[in-house]
Amino acid sequence: MKDLEPTDQQMSEVKKNTYWKSLNELAQNKEYQKFTEREFPENASELTDGVSRRGFLRVMGASIALAGLAACRRPVQKILPYSNQPEDVVAGNPLYYATSMPFQGNLIGLVAENHEGRPTKLEGNSLHPASHGSTNIYNQAATLELYDPDRSRSPLRNGKGVSVEDFAEFASSHFSNTNQRIAFISEANSSPTYNGLKNEVLNKFNNASWVTYEPFGEDNAIEGTQIAFGQRVRTLYNFDNADVVLSLNDDFMGSNHPNGITYARQIAAKRRMNNTGDSMSRIYAVEDSYSPTGSFADHRLKLKASEIESFTYALASALSGRINGLNAFSGINNQFTDHHWISVLADELISNSGRSAISAGAEHKAEVHAAVGAINLALGNVGNTVSYLEVPHFNEQNNRQAFADVVEQMKTGNIDTVVLVGTNPVFTAPDDLGFEEALSNVSIVVNLSHYVDETARKSTWHINRAHFLETWGDGFSFNGARSVIQPQIQPLYNGLSEIEFLSTILTGNLDKGYNLVQNTFSGYYSSGFDARWRTILHDGIDTQDNFSAASVSLASSFEVTSASETESSGGIEVVIRPDPTLYDGRYANLGWLQELPDPMTKITWDNVALMSPNTAAALDVDNEDVVEINVNGKSVKIAAWIQPGHVDNSITLYTGYGREGIGRVANRYIDYTAGGVNTYPLRSTSAILYSNAEISKTGDAYEIACVQDHHSLEGRDMYRQATIDNYKENPAFATFKSVHGYDVPGMREAHELEKEAPVSLFREQEYPDNISYPEHEPQWGMAIDLNSCFGCGVCVIACQSENNIPVVGKKEVKRGREMHWIRNDRYFVGDNVDEPQAVHQPVPCMHCELAPCEEVCPVAATTHSEDGMNQMTYNRCIGTRYCANNCPYKVRRFNFFNYPKEYLTTGDDPDIIQMAMNPEVTIRFRGVMEKCTYCVQRVNRAKIEAKIETGSPKPADGTVQTACQQACPTEAITFGDLTDEDSVVSQAKSNDRNYQMLEELNTRPRTSYLAKITNPNPALALDINQE
Amino acid sequence: MAQIFPKWTNQVPRKILIGIIVLLNVVVFGIWYFFSPEYTDVGYAPEQPVPYSHKLHVDQLGLDCQYCHTDVFESKQANIPATQTCMNCHNIIQTESENLALVRESWETGEAIEWIRVHNLPDYAYFNHSAHVNVGVGCESCHGRIDKMEVVYQEEPLSMGWCLDCHREPEKYVRPVEEVTTMGYQVENQLELGKELVDKNNIHAPTYCQGCHY
Amino acid sequence: MSTNNDHTDSLHGILAEFKNPKQLLDVASKMSKSGYHKFDTYSPFPIHGIDKAMNLKKSKLGWIVLICGLIGFTGAVAMMYYMLVIDYPMNIGGKPFFNAPAWVPVTFELTVLFSAFGAVIGMFVLNGLPKHHNPLFNITRFKKATDDGFFACIEAEDDMFDTDKVKKLFEDAGATHIEEVYE
Amino acid sequence: MSKYEYVPEPALVKGNHDFASLTRLVTDVNLRPTPKGWYLAMIGANSLLLVLLVAIGYLFWEGTGIWGLNNPVGWGWAIINFVWWVGIGHAGTLISAILFLFRQDWRTAINRFAEAMTIFAVMCALIFPGIHVGRIWVAYWMFPLPNQMDIWPNFNSPLLWDVFAVGTYFTVSFLFWYVGLVPDLATIRDRATDKFRKWTYGIFALGWTGSNRHWWNYEKSYMILAGLATPLVLSVHTIVSFDFAVSIIPGWHTTIFPPYFVAGAIFSGFAMVLTLMIVARKIYGMKDIMTDDHMEKMNIIILVTGSMVGFAYMMEFFIAWYSGVEYEKAIFLLRATGPYAWAYWTMMICNVVSPQFFWSKKLRRNVYFTFFISIVVNIGMWFERFVITVSSLATDYLPSSWDYYSPTIWDALTYIGTFGLFFTFFLLFLRFLPMVAVAEIKAVLPQADPHNYDDNDEYQAPEVEVPESQARFY
């Protein structure tokens, strides 16, 4: 990556230096007028291929009648070179800059790919400990958020558009009264600059109160450590050292966990099987709803969320007799005391003392976290698999309590001004607090947010927030690495970042975020700052001053306060969780995330009431039947969905849907009702995770767009797995012969003829020396390790971002026309209907050497390249769909409509979303087929670079990473040159577990799978058998 | 019974047949020629906002292509020079020229000069300059004798068939990498030399689709 | 356009109508046995056995069709070979460029297509059709030839043509009407 | 000739017709003023044609997405309709060519009619491959035309074979039809009284005189065309079946398809001819030519081909089981029991059960029952294509991609619209062209045979002695 040397000059001389650009700036110059004619604001750079590329196929279709005439003379195209060329920019070559994305207040290090000044793709920063080079779905979707045309575009005063200068003027007058009673309600933020400003604010305003409010977060975990250790610290796991992991309803690998990328990477690394000699960790999951972590576990126990607490105490109690430090739990007797799992887990944890880790779901009570902390401490895990970090920006008081107190103050009229920073409590606050009502008691409400959201509409002042890709910022990763946020583009709508916003409130001036951040960092270094700063910007991370580990001991006052016997009420309970693809709703307007299938249910565009088959039968409902869920007088109507593996008598609801008025995507897409139901009204302060509910069937039905209709493998062999013992006994368990007991047809004859591939009636193409492919080219191949995939779906989003895959909308998904080039199949397997195992299998194009799709194309639009890829030539395609029919893997996607047009043109707006498009990939027009290309644009770029540098078009191993591979947090996907025997992918393919899907068809896929290995505990396996 | 058709009508079918044959030939030839880039694109010479003369700068003043198109060996694009590049010299010479008014304006305001694109490939055809010039495809092979052009025009059809001519038989066209920017390069033993260069530079010009389309 | 029996026009031949297919068959046999060459018979449908009676030679159409069929066959193979092997060989599904089994259907179809063209066009060419103007159409009665009339005609160009002899021959054969046909 | 060896045919033309009366019977239809009923029918057909144009227009504007297609099911009604219409289009050429080669003189009553139906059915069929592609404006890339891209079609693709097969079939059928029409056009030319008809029919009659020298080449040509059309007609549905059989999809990938498709095509084609014939002969009073004997013979063919198709259905199951391929077994079980079982059983009842009624001679000769079954058979054959096309795609290898296909209103409108096209052309045919091959049917009258005249050149009707043992058949 290249480093960017930002100077004041670059920031201030926007006009001269066209590298940075904003729409408002454009509005004043004449390029802006052409903005709608051309599809990109390419004022800054030479018109690239990509710029006009995307328009072409569309124009071809729209003006077919004109084609004959227009062919005589082409339309005039203009090239706009730089006036003064920035030093780093080589027109046509992308630049890469480090930055970071704040997620739940913690930073994840990223590298942004920029084309002529517009970031188009985000990758993980391999130097950053929260990323290790990979990303989660929200990181990938951030580019779309940046170019979201529905983002708020200007400050609003009582709903009327004003300028940011007006706000500065207001701030300097209104906030000159330092004695007013101000409540600051902020999102979680780890930024040292921000927290510095927070302290300044609290110093300046005598009667100010500051609360941090997040609808989901680590509040309970922090309270738990307070109870257990008397310290408000962060729990950080190091699964690299954990041989046994117990998750108590904690989806720590999932996208919503603030440290999910790292945890997933660690867990997968601990379970990687390169040969039969390797060992792997064992994971136990106790959970109510099926989570990706649960699907990755070796053993999974279904418990209602309300039972987790009792289960935890029963476990602690069982351990208390055998190890020291858990005296507080001795004598607890509850319904789980005699549970088979308790004794098995106790044995397992004790025999792995110091090498085990127990985690609890973030929303569980503080007492549960306290108990888990005590157990981890007693087991000697602290320091090995668990550490506790002192986080400087944690507030002293309980955030949730503080928030409730502030709301109470607002209600009673004791607050004059409320400042809301990046948070949306009108939408997300627990219903019993009555936040909206409380807010109406406050005379001045100032809000900073990306969208004119529910809270912004109730505010006196709304300030449009700058996206993190537009602003300077800083912060810490979850594990405490200090990082910077480096802007990639000038704010498109002149928004303010949260530090600029606070600074304006403090000073009344519009300060530049760059100065604020640089000041913070220059404070850290008394000498040599400039060089240090350059390194920090280049690396995106400051290696110094990370969080320090707290030494913890059990608080002397620690005791189990809550009732030891928490008998569940027996009724149906409702559990409310953040959505696996939209989180708390802040990403609801991002089409990529709306259309990303839920990892476990494969539902897009909506939330549903997840329930077990038994519960559904008891309620007499089926998929898509609308049920009314009533909790303490509040009710929502939502479609039911049967989730195998869900605990009985429990319903899981996701938040984040049912948003109103924030954008076209979140509200409704095209002409079809989507966007789900707001479930926050069912949440209350006393029942933040679960509460008892009454369910009734309404008799209505609501269509749900689920991308997978069939969830059983039907006994087929697409997915292969074995226990580690079986693997060691029979390392070749995954081969076709092992699975079926006989060879692939034609293979026996092939052995006789000493050939490697099955013999068939058909001749194959041969190059000289009897090889199938020319030697002067690399031969690409991919291996997907099923032992690492837990179904998060980031590969899907990364591919969507890299390859300009359109969003098609709920209606089209419902019709079965989703466009994702890589999909993540999820099957439920196993003989036990109540305890199905969920498995994940990513399926991109297999790039078959003997591709069935190629033979049937009448116009040779899909053929084979010399580097062994199945090529799809869009501009030759006439759209017979025969190739898709004839693909046994069903990986081809057809543009039934002009999806890119609907997706890229957003009504009356300039087509700003097009700026998110990768200029190196053709936008596909209506009527053409498309599919995974192995990211051929990356491959070809690498080949050209290698050819120029070395004379050979074979790039060094690792030079080319496909988008899915690069994004994958568990490194499940490997890609590279098969002619290089030492390449990572060749190594992976030589693994015993390597198998080809549908090998008997003799399509010879270049993409193969490594079978999954599970590590069950014999004690529990027996248990299941006995049942 | 009266004759329905006069006697001369017996000649009509033959005439119609000949007519159809002639017409078909005309149509085929017409489409083949008039609908091809050879006819539609070659010779496109739009008037540029600044009357920049390649003939003057290249032929008479002897500037190398790379003086202005600096990125051609590094990037997929042979960049159109920034105004800055013009001003390197025109700060000093021809500072008052009317023809250069737009250049000076651009330099002062920072706004781009809107050049008209001459050589334009369809958006689905991915062409990389660096991949070509680094293995000895000369500028003039595609752009013609730029040094003789007062106004730049399109010399070659830039059609797929035309690209394939060279991709199939690169030895007919390649030259030593040092000679890439040479105008009017010609050797007698092109085929022999070309074959040597193809071997030396390990040229395997792709003729599969993904070489250019993705 | 000529009028009926316009004697200024040259004589085309003599046309006679007969009652039924049997008579026509008989007169056909008589005409050919008498040594006439330029004669013809006309009927609304082909009459079984009249080819022998008229001493017609085997039709050359079969040869024309064979040649056309061969053109279709070789043309198809040559076209595909040029396109997929010589001009732009592409790796399609890992199959060899010269993928003979896959070419059978198109080769067959083009062979049939060209043969059919040969059969139809050849037939019309052999019959000298289209010929919209025909001296026989001057005879009103000749309309019946496509309905229920059976006619025989000896053309004036025949070496042995003699109006009286011809008329006599037709009369003997039982012709119901005899007319002179003028150009 | 011994009377016991000769199994005589019932008279092909009923009633006391001679050459002239047959000419009048057939060609008067074209020469009479247009009946009002024809206009009414034409309005109906044109309305449907308009529906087709609207449906296609909207398709051009919006894209193939207006149909119910989805990801696993890339081919839906368009391909079903294509195969169905092509199948129907097999009857004409079969009757003209194969029955001609087998010297089945009864074909003369219906061959013109069936050939016309063939041509119009193939036209309806040809619409679909043209419009079902995503980018209709570049569909011409399927033809091997020289171009500046220097790229050619892929002759390995069954779809391209289809282009050549159906294109050839249409061309040859049309030529065959036209060659047969020429003498009859001459008949109308000679009977026409107004100048317009004389001119138009005259131009297309090409100056036909009925010369026996011409007839000689003509018959040769006709026989060669029949000889060419016979393998052609078998090849066309064979190649259409290759669209499926050459693929890799379970339920498609099977060698039984060519014979089974051809049998099905004949089956549906004869049914369609019957449907049309029963109505037309009533309206136009052609019962003397298109007799109940014809209907019965065709019903026997329907019975035979229907049973062949039924045999094929069962053989598919047997082979699926016998092959031991799990995907193959699964797809056939799913057809009979899965989400498309309703379509499968509709097909079975219509195609396999309904023709079995024709074992009864009484039902074979019952006009109303035949009409009913002929329609049922075509419904069944449509469902056969539906079952093959959709069910295989909907549930193929990977259970994850299984999806249900349901059509939209535009699928239905396009299909209905093709009937508009079909009937528009058919009505024009009935009105303006002789619906029976007059010259050919005259040739099979006993009067046409010179042997049936005595020494005084007087017609003697041949005596037919029907042996006792055979008599019950007639």
pLDDT in tens, A703-738: 888 998 888 888 888 899 999 988 999 998 898 888
Model confidence band, residue C2 (pLDDT cutoffs 50, 70, 90): very low
Q: What is the pLDDT of residue D92?
A: 81
pLDDT over 90, % of chain B: 12
Q: Do D168 and C129 lie within an 8 Å CB cutoff?
A: no
Model confidence band, residue D54 (pLDDT cutoffs 50, 70, 90): very high
A90 vs A380, higher pLDDT: A380
CA distance D445 to D106: 11
The alpha carbon of residue B151 is apart from the nearest alpha carbon of chain A, in Å, by: 16
Q: Do B71 and A57 lie within an 8 Å CB cutoff?
A: no
Mean pLDDT throughout A259-275? 91
CA distance D188 to D209: 12
Q: Among B49, B59, B39, B38, which residue's Cα sits nearest to residue B150?
A: B59
Model confidence band, residue A972 (pLDDT cutoffs 50, 70, 90): very high
pLDDT at A1024 over 50: no
pLDDT at B66 over 60: yes
pLDDT at B194 over 80: yes
Task: Say which residues have a Cβ less than 8 Å from residue A721's Cβ, sequence separation at least 6.
Answer: A786, A839, A1011, A1012, A1013, A1014
Report whether D136 contacts D127 (CB < 8 A).
no
Look at residue A652 and give its three-state secondary structure. strand
Q: Do C44 and D144 lie within an 8 Å CB cutoff?
A: no
| DSSP codes of every residue in chain B | ---SS-GGGGGHHHHHHHHHHHHHHHHHHHHHHHTSHHHHTTT--PPPSS---HIIIIIIT---HHHH-TTTTTSSS-PPPPHHHHHHHHTTSSTT-GGGHHHHHHHHH-PPP-EEP-S---TT----HHHHHTTT--HHHHH--GGG-SS----S---HHHHHHHHH-GGGT---GGGTT-TT---TTHHHHHHHHHHHTT-----SGGGT--
Chain D contact for A893, CB < 8 A? Answer: yes
Return the minimum-mean-pLDDT range out of A492-506, A681-695, A895-909, A977-991: A895-909
- The model's pLDDT over A654-674, given as tens digits with 9 standing for 90+, comes to 998 888 878 777 765 444 456
Query: For residue D202, which residues of chain B lie inside 8 Å, CB to CB?
Result: 4-5
Mean pLDDT throughout C77-105? 89
Q: What is the pLDDT of residue A48?
A: 33
pLDDT at B100 over 90: no
Query: For residue C142, which residues of chain B lie inside 8 Å, CB to CB?
Result: 1
- The model's pLDDT over D342-401, given as tens digits with 9 standing for 90+, comes to 999 999 999 889 988 889 888 888 889 889 999 999 899 999 999 999 988 998 899 998
Mean pLDDT throughout A892-904? 81
pTM: 0.89
pLDDT at D209 over 50: yes
Indicate the DSSP class of residue D97: I
- The model's pLDDT over C119-169, given as tens digits with 9 standing for 90+, comes to 999 998 888 888 888 888 888 888 888 888 888 888 888 788 888 888 888
* Cα of A888 vs its chain's centroid, Å: 29
Chain A contact for D408, CB < 8 A? Answer: no
Q: Do B10 and C131 lie within an 8 Å CB cutoff?
A: yes
A269 vs A774, higher pLDDT: A269
CA distance A783 to A1005: 10
Q: What is the pLDDT of residue A903?
A: 66
pLDDT over 90, % of chain C: 21
Q: What is the pLDDT of residue C73?
A: 94
Q: Do C132 and B1 lie within an 8 Å CB cutoff?
A: no
pLDDT at A650 over 70: yes
- β-partners of residue A406 are none
CA distance A145 to A582: 12
Report whether A218 contacts A454 (CB < 8 A).
no
Q: Among A785, A721, A1018, which residue's Cα sits nearest to residue A273?
A: A785
Report whether A235 contacts A370 (CB < 8 A).
no
Q: What's chain A's average pLDDT? A: 83
CA distance D240 to D249: 16
pLDDT at A72 over 60: no
pLDDT at D472 over 80: no
Q: What's chain C's average pLDDT? A: 84
Q: Among A91, A374, A357, which residue's Cα sits nearest to residue A224?
A: A374
Query: For residue D207, which residues of chain B lie inside 8 Å, CB to CB?
Result: 5, 10
Rg (CA), chain B: 25
pLDDT at A20 over 70: no
**Three-point CA angle C44, D34, D125, nearest 5°:** 80
Chain A contact for C87, CB < 8 A? Answer: no
Model confidence band, residue A1022 (pLDDT cutoffs 50, 70, 90): low
CA distance A138 to A467: 13
pLDDT over 70, % of chain A: 88
Model confidence band, residue C66 (pLDDT cutoffs 50, 70, 90): very high
- The model's pLDDT over A404-413, given as tens digits with 9 standing for 90+, comes to 889 988 888 8
CA distance D224 to D220: 6
Q: Among A937, A941, A932, A923, which residue's Cα sits nearest to residue A53?
A: A923
Model confidence band, residue A769 (pLDDT cutoffs 50, 70, 90): low
In this structure, which amino acid lies at residue A703? E
Query: For residue B207, which residues of chain C lie inside 8 Å, CB to CB?
Result: 88
For residue A885, give the nearest of D74, D134, D400 by CB distance.
D74
CA distance A121 to A140: 7
pLDDT at A906 over 60: no
Mean pLDDT throughout B53-58? 88
In this structure, which amino acid lies at residue A119? P
Q: What is the pLDDT of residue A12?
A: 31
CA distance A110 to D238: 58
Q: Do D398 and A896 lie within an 8 Å CB cutoff?
A: no
As a whole number of Å, the end-to-end CA separation of chain D is: 21
Indicate the DSSP class of residue A651: E
Mean pLDDT throughout D456-461? 76
pLDDT at D71 over 60: yes
Model confidence band, residue A555 (pLDDT cutoffs 50, 70, 90): confident
What are D108's two structure tokens?
């003369």
The alpha carbon of residue A984 is apart from the nearest alpha carbon of chain D, in Å, by: 28
Q: Do B10 and C91 lie within an 8 Å CB cutoff?
A: no
B interface test, pick of D147, D154, D196 with most B CB neighbours within 10 Å: D147
CA distance A708 to A757: 33
Report whether A229 contacts A222 (CB < 8 A).
no
Burial of D372 (0-12, 13-18, 19+ CB in 10 A): middle
Contacting subunits of D (3+ beta carbon pairs below 8 A)? A, B, C
Chain B contact for C22, CB < 8 A? Answer: no
pLDDT over 90, % of chain A: 29
In this structure, which amino acid lies at residue C121? I
Q: What is the pLDDT of residue D2?
A: 45
A1012 vs D8, higher pLDDT: A1012
B interface test, pick of D148, D198, D206 with most B CB neighbours within 10 Å: D148
- The model's pLDDT over A995-1007, given as tens digits with 9 standing for 90+, comes to 999 988 888 899 9
Q: What's chain D's average pLDDT? A: 86
CA distance A87 to D66: 51
Report whether D167 contacts D144 (CB < 8 A).
no
The alpha carbon of residue B18 is apart from the nearest alpha carbon of chain A, in Å, by: 28
D interface test, pick of A881, A898, A924 with most D CB neighbours within 10 Å: A881
pLDDT at C70 over 90: yes
Model confidence band, residue A822 (pLDDT cutoffs 50, 70, 90): very high
Chain B contact for C58, CB < 8 A? Answer: no
pLDDT over 90, % of chain D: 24
Q: Among B170, B172, B168, B166, which residue's Cα sits nearest to residue B201?
A: B170
For residue D151, give the nearest of A858, A860, A928 by CB distance.
A860
CB pairs A-D closer than 8 Å: 165
